[in-house]
Structure 1
Amino acid sequence: MKYLFLFVPLLILFSCQNSEQAQVTNQKDYNKFLVSSPSRTTSKYYELWNSKIKPDSMQLTSFGIVAGEYNRYFQNTGDITYLKKAEQALEKAVEIAAIGKAGYERALARNYISQHRFREALTLAEDARKWGSGVEDTQSLLFDIHMELGNYSKAEQYLDSIKNMSQFGYLIRAAKWNDYKGDLDTTIRFMEMAKQKAENSKNSALMLWSYTNIADYYGHAGKIKESYDYYLKSLQLDPRSAYAKKGIAWIVFSHEKNPEEALRILDSVTKNYSAPDYYLLKSEIAAFQKNELESLANLDKYYMAMQNPSYGDMYNAYNASLYLEQTGQYEKALMIAEKEVENRPTPHSYDLLAYGYLKIGKKDKALQVVEDYIEGKTFEPNILYHAAEIYKANGRMSKVVELKKELSGAAYELGPDMASRITKL
């Protein structure tokens, strides 16, 4: 699943081999959610608190509330402008706060995480810990950051420090941890427990988060019908949920091999939602249709979006993958991969580096990176496929055979184009 799950905080696991084959989607289920108008980016609540912010304002509460509204607008529209405005408000709150400073630092750190500014987020989280308030919230935040940075031993320590089977926050992080370890059954059990907690609380935000994430996990497990059902439940809570619609579009495309319908769904999303990665997915689907003009048109839309400097490093991994897989700009991809390894030394970052080395003919260096930083450290199908290519280039055919067995169950996640590539390994 090349673009659907690459920018999200969940690691991809290979699917079970007995994935359902029957069609699971029905237009009647989701058509009503495809008719949408632009999201509102103001409210009386926002206007009230924003009006309290004046030049040289010290209205601390106003900054926090306005930042929360900006973040909501970002979630609803995908417009990076609102995430950056939230950053500005939170930075001001951190600057002027005398009481409750740790809370504002945690909020700003989470904003930085959304921007893939993980090391800056870590600095803020460490500072928040010094204040001694909201200890569990800070420990949870530190788990999240260290997972993003690939500091897995530290992440495990923070997870142990917040262990509480009755807490939603612990359960979702325990799910993420077991996802990283490759234990899908345990991952789903934890996520089901978290979902139940969210439902019991009747907190719609937690329920929505639970439904979309458990839908992802069910997809990883080859339980496509369950995955589809939870994306629908997400839309029942939030009819605008672009992520849930994209999840359904992927099922329609990858499982049901219906690219026309998948594009119809995605077209309804991109009318009012501007996250650039949606254009990459549309380009991928158009390429599957052999519609080169449509594929290139969506790549061009992605490229134009990337001219906005506000995105910073958020789309580095997408860009490197694009250069490696489609445009052949291997040296450019390597530069990005090296930066990603420095900023975020995870198996995914090292995968970009290793694959870049392979593409420029340095197969020995590629193999060394795989053996040192990837082998046994991830279950993500796309990374395993690249590793198999690198093993093949270096004559390690026993490794290739081993990985082909694992990848044979990952067709749904990798997408229709990958089946023949796996066979040719």
Structure 2
Amino acid sequence: MKKIITLIGLVLLTSCSKEKEFKTDASDYNKYLTDSNFENTSKYYRLWNGKIKSDSSQTLALGNVAKEYGRFFKTSGEITYLKRAERALKKALNEASIGKSGYLRALARNYIAQHRFQEALELAQRAREMGSGVYASQSLLFDLHMELGNYTTASKYLDSIQNNSNFGYLIRVAKWNDHIGDLQTAIRFMEKAKSKADSSKNPGLRLWAYTNLADFYGHDGRIDDAYQHYLMALELDPNNAYAKKGIAWIVFSHERNAKEALRIIEAVKKTNNSPDLDLFKAEIAEYLDNETLKINALQAFQAKTQNKAYGEMYNTHKVENYLGNGDMANKALNMANREVTNRPTPETYDLLAYSHLKSGNQAKALELMEAHVSGKTFEPMAQFHMAQIYKANGYLNKVEALKKELEEAAFELGPNMEKAIQDL
């Protein structure tokens, strides 16, 4: 038995050593960082958009144009395209004589992207009541109840769509297992989903599987595997900003090569206007101790998210931004309360609890943390906030237990968090 344990230990040590030694190679991804040839149009878009007239009832054309707008949004980060997709779907829904449930689901997914979860839930329930596309509606309802923190209800919907040969079920059961903290099972299901996507030869499904599996591998410390899957995603879609950002995070957090990470992000920003890229840039600037760069990046984030079209999409980022500024604790508290109303999840309650701590109310922070966060999420940042709240309330034994977990989550938390963890 001792020999077996020793062998297992050697395998684990060798695996960990390989991950520490792993390095990215800029020649793998440089070709994806050149000026993008992205255009806010396509042959498919022109085909269907040409079928729409101001007085048209071409619902099929409207639905397809909305899909293209959604794709443009993912590629460019421009909120305008998401709002245009919303308008097209609303018009299609109003004019459709058949297939209304499909348009309801499409509009609900658009609202999910906009973080309008309560409105999306109403649409999903209407689609389910119509009785058409039941499996798709129940899958959507699982997604929504997960977003809203209604995990018991979400579990029931997951049971209702159980089908181990269905890609949609596999990715959702993977998400469920990740939620309950069983990352290894989540990875196994996501790997099955990847196999399904590969055999289908559907680029959209493959892209989704590769990027999500890359995220899971990163959480599990399998940095090489994560890197390879981001590259696989870029091979399918050279403009995929999410995969490029994933590689930049590996370069930044795993390799501590902040300048190279910044180069990647600057390249992505040339064709993608998403505000979260500015936050990433600010995080890199903090590591480089470049205060001017950090301030400029945060100001860019604030300027973009003042656009009312973003609605509730960046509430949590705004809270974190306010909390990083000592004299904005009250603004953080107000925004955190608003976000809990929008989506009462353990993660939003975590931000609310932490906002109370930063506002000087450690007792209220502890009450919220114990009631709504502890044992309900395994997100490293929530664990870090929990440790700080326990420390403020004198529960030092609980702090030490969390500190060990946080040290193991160094890759996810990033290099800027190292000192804060050590100071717990």
The TM-score, its normalising length taken from structure 2, stands at: 0.95
- Matched with 2:74 is 75
Once the two structures are TM-superposed, the CA of residue 24 in structure 1 deviates from its matched residue by 2.1
Give the AA of the match of 1:300: Q
Distance 1:275 1:86 in 2: 17
- Matched with 1:324 is 323
Deviations along 1:218-240, one digit per CA (max 9) or x if unpaired, are: 00000111111111111111111
- Matched with 1:416 is 415
Once the two structures are TM-superposed, the CA of residue 40 in structure 1 deviates from its matched residue by 1.2
Deviations along 1:158-196, one digit per CA (max 9) or x if unpaired, are: 000000000000000000000000001100000000000
1:212 equivalent in alignment to 2:217: no
Alpha carbons 2:286, 2:416 under 8 Å: kept: no
Distance 2:26 2:17 in 1: 25
Once the two structures are TM-superposed, the CA of residue 65 in structure 1 deviates from its matched residue by 1.1
- Matched with 1:271 is 270
- Matched with 2:346 is 347
Alpha carbons 1:24, 1:228 under 8 Å: kept: no
Once the two structures are TM-superposed, the CA of residue 97 in structure 1 deviates from its matched residue by 1.3
Alpha carbons 1:19, 1:223 under 8 Å: kept: no
The structure-2 alpha-carbon separation of the partners of 1:134 and 1:198, relative to structure 1 and needing over 3 Å to count, comes to: same
Distance 2:113 2:377 in 1: 22
- Matched with 1:175 is 174
Give the AA of the match of 2:307: N
Mean alpha-carbon deviation: is it higher for 337-346 or for 40-49? Answer: 40-49
1:250 equivalent in alignment to 2:249: yes
| Superposition pairs of residues 341-420 of structure 1, within 5 angstroms | 341-420=340-419
Once the two structures are TM-superposed, the CA of residue 94 in structure 1 deviates from its matched residue by 1.1
Partner SS for 1:417:
helix
Partner SS for 1:388:
helix
Partner SS for 1:40:
coil
Distance 2:37 2:309 in 1: 22
The structure-2 alpha-carbon separation of the partners of 1:327 and 1:362, relative to structure 1 and needing over 3 Å to count, comes to: closer
| Superposition pairs of residues 118-267 of structure 1, within 5 angstroms | 118-267=117-266
Once the two structures are TM-superposed, the CA of residue 356 in structure 1 deviates from its matched residue by 0.5
Deviations along 1:355-386, one digit per CA (max 9) or x if unpaired, are: 01000110000000000000000100000000
Partner SS for 2:20:
coil
Partner SS for 2:294:
helix
- Matched with 1:26 is 25
Higher helix share: 2
RMSD (Å), alpha carbons: 1.3
1:305 equivalent in alignment to 2:292: no
Partner SS for 1:261:
helix
Distance 2:17 2:365 in 1: 33
Once the two structures are TM-superposed, the CA of residue 327 in structure 1 deviates from its matched residue by 5.4
Deviations along 1:261-286, one digit per CA (max 9) or x if unpaired, are: 00001110000101110000001101
For structure 2, list consecutive stretches of 5 or more residues without a partner in the other structure.
1-14
Alpha carbons 1:358, 1:366 under 8 Å: kept: yes
Partner SS for 1:82:
helix
Once the two structures are TM-superposed, the CA of residue 130 in structure 1 deviates from its matched residue by 1.1
Deviations along 1:88-109, one digit per CA (max 9) or x if unpaired, are: 0001111111210000000000
Once the two structures are TM-superposed, the CA of residue 411 in structure 1 deviates from its matched residue by 0.8
Alpha carbons 2:22, 2:223 under 8 Å: kept: no
- Matched with 1:3 is none
Alpha carbons 2:319, 2:336 under 8 Å: kept: yes
Deviations along 1:48-94, one digit per CA (max 9) or x if unpaired, are: 32232222321111211111111111111111000000000001111
Distance 2:224 2:314 in 1: 31
Distance 2:65 2:96 in 1: 15
Once the two structures are TM-superposed, the CA of residue 256 in structure 1 deviates from its matched residue by 0.3
Alpha carbons 1:24, 1:224 under 8 Å: kept: no
Give the AA of the match of 2:388: E
Partner SS for 1:20:
helix
Distance 1:375 1:17 in 2: 29
Distance 1:215 1:340 in 2: 28
Give the AA of the match of 1:285: I
Once the two structures are TM-superposed, the CA of residue 147 in structure 1 deviates from its matched residue by 0.2
The structure-2 alpha-carbon separation of the partners of 1:276 and 1:343, relative to structure 1 and needing over 3 Å to count, comes to: same
- Matched with 2:11 is none
Distance 2:147 2:220 in 1: 23
- Matched with 1:315 is 314
Alpha carbons 1:117, 1:313 under 8 Å: kept: yes
Deviations along 1:122-167, one digit per CA (max 9) or x if unpaired, are: 0000000111110000000000000000000000000000000000
Distance 2:75 2:412 in 1: 26
Distance 1:76 1:99 in 2: 31
Alpha carbons 1:36, 1:240 under 8 Å: kept: no
- Matched with 2:10 is none
Alpha carbons 1:231, 1:248 under 8 Å: kept: yes
Alpha carbons 1:279, 1:302 under 8 Å: kept: yes
Distance 1:328 1:180 in 2: 34
Give the AA of the match of 2:267: S
Distance 2:410 2:17 in 1: 11
- Matched with 1:335 is 334
The structure-2 alpha-carbon separation of the partners of 1:177 and 1:331, relative to structure 1 and needing over 3 Å to count, comes to: same
Distance 2:416 2:100 in 1: 50
Alpha carbons 1:19, 1:222 under 8 Å: kept: no
Quick one: percent identity of the two aligned structures? 57
Alpha carbons 2:218, 2:226 under 8 Å: kept: yes
Partner SS for 2:112:
helix
Once the two structures are TM-superposed, the CA of residue 36 in structure 1 deviates from its matched residue by 2.5
